[in-house]
Amino acid sequence: MSDATLSQPAHQVLGDLIRRLAELAGDPTMEPATDGIAVALQEEPPANSAGFDRICSAFRLSAFERELVMLVGLPEEHETITHLARVLHPRGEPRMSFSTIAEVLGLGPIGRRHLRDAILAGPLHVHGLLVAEGSGPLPESGLRLAAGLWSVLRGHDHWPAQIRRRTIPAVASPSLDGARLANALDGGRRIVVVTAATRPPTELAAVVRGAAEAVGTRVVVVSSDDVTGEAQELLSVHTVAREAHPVLIGRPQSPPLTTHPGPVVICAEESTGLPLDDRPVVVIEVGERDLGESIDMWTGLVPELNGGAEHLASLLRVDHLRASRAVDDARVTARADAGPITVADIVRHARRRTGCDLPASGRIVRPTVGWDQLVTTPDNTELLRSILDRVRGQVRVLHDWGFESRASRGVHALFAGPPGTGKTLSAHIVASSLDLDLLVVDVSTLVSKWLGETEKNISEVFAAAERSQSVLFFDEADAIFGKRTDGNDAQARWANLETAHLLAKIDGFTGLVVLATNLRGNIDEAFVRRLDVIVEFDEPGPAERLRLWETHLPPAAPLADDVDLRQLASVYQLTGGLIRNAALAAAYRAAAGDRCIDQRGLLDAVEREYQKAGRSFPGIPRARTGTHSGGM
């Protein structure tokens, strides 16, 4: 075709190509149909050619290559053209062949050489715009465009199955410099890394989409793991045709979209160690999500909850995607129950939506215990409730009253006391009161003899607690939070580095961390200085032991008339854990004998607890009152 013809809009060129195909087929009966298709294409508005023009400009296609794209795509336009392509194909396939194209364009030997180069080595091949199929000689090969390309060039928003787009909402965030992002996207080939240590890549993608759409820029979000093989070329082609930018979630395994003519955005937790190539790199760091941003998010999602947004912002550290899904779940449940949506509903569904792979050193517990099962001093109860106040009151104190620049958002507590005095139970009660799960850390598997493994295990635990929205609980914490040594040997230096890493993780964690230890003095002072609440659990006195016996023997338990709980409480100095063990052992023994729980059975169980603890048993008192609780 002449250069004058090629300067016409693409849809007019298509009309001329269709007429040439009909002439080449030599079937006069086809002319009315082909003429009708050609006229219809030539009467289309020029706007329908915008996607084609973008493809030609971005991939620098020559006039010859532009015609080639249109010819190869024509069989997808109309069944009449599909029939013509089949008639002209050497093997009867419904595609344009090398030989058909050469004849339509009237190519001589030099033109055919250019055609071969275009198909096998030019931009059409490099960028995956055109594919030659079949194992036979090239002149008999069927040619097709990249999957879905013809549809989008003709104005249809069709995406091929190979491109697995992620449905990510657009989230406005003051933490991302929108102007800087817009400038980074307004350029040629480059990699734009958007990173934040405290935000998951999915949330970063939502923030990028929000900032891009705010300035009228379209983005297409996919997971890095899904951009391999043919999907890389397809993603590049389809984003260019739509005047959009690809955004990848997560760290890619190799340099992404290496032939893409524009910027590629990678959303990752950190920018170091990414697989890069010779393209320029722009790194944009997103700030930590503050309470104000969380409040705005929840207010937008559930405006009907009066004051609920502040409560949710204090309890949950989730991104917009997980928050919106939890709200949708809660709304559906509320409609099914014919009731209003509540904060508790949203928290419960958020917990269900935060499934994650747990490290080997952690396990999730969903506590159900209540305050009625805790026997401790009034001062300790007040301290435990102050932990709840700190978690729930963060919005008012840190955000509304301006303390956010003077205090960290996380809450750190230490429970210290002998075994069995209620430390673990208290951690369960605190988590249950907040409607949160408890991530219990096995400290023995956290520490490794291999260099760097302990730090890796620590990072995995904190990441899992963040993803699962759990209260982080370190039992027997002195094994890892213990005092640092002043030694100069290599072992001491590495131990101190592990402690420093743990301190950094504690400082950066925005949730609730509870440490439990048998001896407060074993905890390193650097950790003690970071603690917000310290609760000292002492061994219970007679009055507390009586309450413990009454708590651990349920009302439905069949007690014999000779049971004297006051005597048990006054004589035997047991902790709550040992009392629980004794009560349960006596119950199983009574059930096995098909009788009530009697005083003798309880005394035998108490004696066994003394033996297990390696303590001397005080013996069995001679006098008994013969009442369940000593007249209480």
Please, which pLDDT band fits residue 139 given cuts at 50, 70 and 90?
confident
C-alpha to C-alpha distance for 294 and 243, rounded to whole angstroms: 32
For position 42, what pLDDT does the model report?
Answer: 64
Contacts with 202 (C-beta within 8 Å, 6 or more apart), sequence order: 166, 168, 249, 267, 319, 321
DSSP 3-state of 252: coil
Please, which pLDDT band fits residue 352 given cuts at 50, 70 and 90?
confident
Does an H or E element contain 394, and which? helix 394-394
Q: Taking residues 253-269, report their average pLDDT.
A: 93
Does residue 220 have a pLDDT over 90? yes
Mean pLDDT value across the chain? 85
Please, which pLDDT band fits residue 8 given cuts at 50, 70 and 90?
very low
Within 10 Å of residue 529's Cβ, how many Cβ atoms?
A: 9
C-alpha to C-alpha distance for 216 and 223, rounded to whole angstroms: 23
Does residue 26 have a pLDDT over 80? no
For position 449, what pLDDT does the model report?
Answer: 66
Q: How far is CA 566 from the centre of its chain?
A: 53
C-alpha to C-alpha distance for 75 and 67, rounded to whole angstroms: 14
For position 44, what pLDDT does the model report?
Answer: 62
DSSP string, 27-57: -GGGHHHHHHHHHHHHTS-GGGGHHHHHHHH
C-alpha to C-alpha distance for 498 and 91, rounded to whole angstroms: 69
User: How is residue 630 written in tokens?
Assistant: 């000593």
Does residue 3 have a pLDDT over 50? no
Please, which pLDDT band fits residue 625 given cuts at 50, 70 and 90?
very low
For position 623, what pLDDT does the model report?
Answer: 55
Percent helix, strand, coil in the chain (nearest 5)? 50, 10, 35
Residue of 47 and 426 predicted with greater confidence: 426
Does residue 307 have a pLDDT over 70? yes
For position 628, what pLDDT does the model report?
Answer: 52
For position 496, what pLDDT does the model report?
Answer: 57
Per-residue pLDDT of 484-508, as tens digits, reads 555 554 444 555 566 777 888 888 8
Quick check: 165 and 222 in contact, CB under 8 A? yes
Residue of 386 and 394 predicted with greater confidence: 386
For position 632, what pLDDT does the model report?
Answer: 35
Domains contained in the chain, CATH given = 3-153 (no CATH), 178-285 (3.40.50), 292-352 (no CATH), 362-536 (3.40.50.300), 542-612 (1.10.8.60)
C-alpha to C-alpha distance for 526 and 549, rounded to whole angstroms: 39
- The answer to which of 47-51, 259-263, 375-379, 555-559 has the lowest mean pLDDT is 47-51
C-alpha to C-alpha distance for 112 and 97, rounded to whole angstroms: 12
Please, which pLDDT band fits residue 631 given cuts at 50, 70 and 90?
very low
Does residue 248 have a pLDDT over 90? yes
For position 589, what pLDDT does the model report?
Answer: 94
Quick check: 402 and 458 in contact, CB under 8 A? no
Per-residue pLDDT of 73-105, as tens digits, reads 888 888 888 888 888 888 888 999 998 888 888
DSSP 3-state of 167: coil
Per-residue pLDDT of 32-70, as tens digits, reads 777 777 777 666 654 457 888 899 999 999 989 988 998
C-alpha to C-alpha distance for 534 and 137, rounded to whole angstroms: 80
Per-residue pLDDT of 459-472, as tens digits, reads 888 888 887 888 99
Does residue 583 have a pLDDT over 50? yes
In terms of Cα–Cα distance, which of 66, 126, 133 is closest to 97? 133
In terms of Cα–Cα distance, which of 425, 368, 429 is closest to 575? 425
- The answer to which of 159-163, 302-306, 351-355, 628-632 has the lowest mean pLDDT is 628-632
Please, which pLDDT band fits residue 357 given cuts at 50, 70 and 90?
low
For position 542, what pLDDT does the model report?
Answer: 93
Does residue 134 have a pLDDT over 90? no
For position 371, what pLDDT does the model report?
Answer: 93
For position 103, what pLDDT does the model report?
Answer: 87
DSSP 3-state of 145: strand
Does an H or E element contain 416, and which? strand 411-416
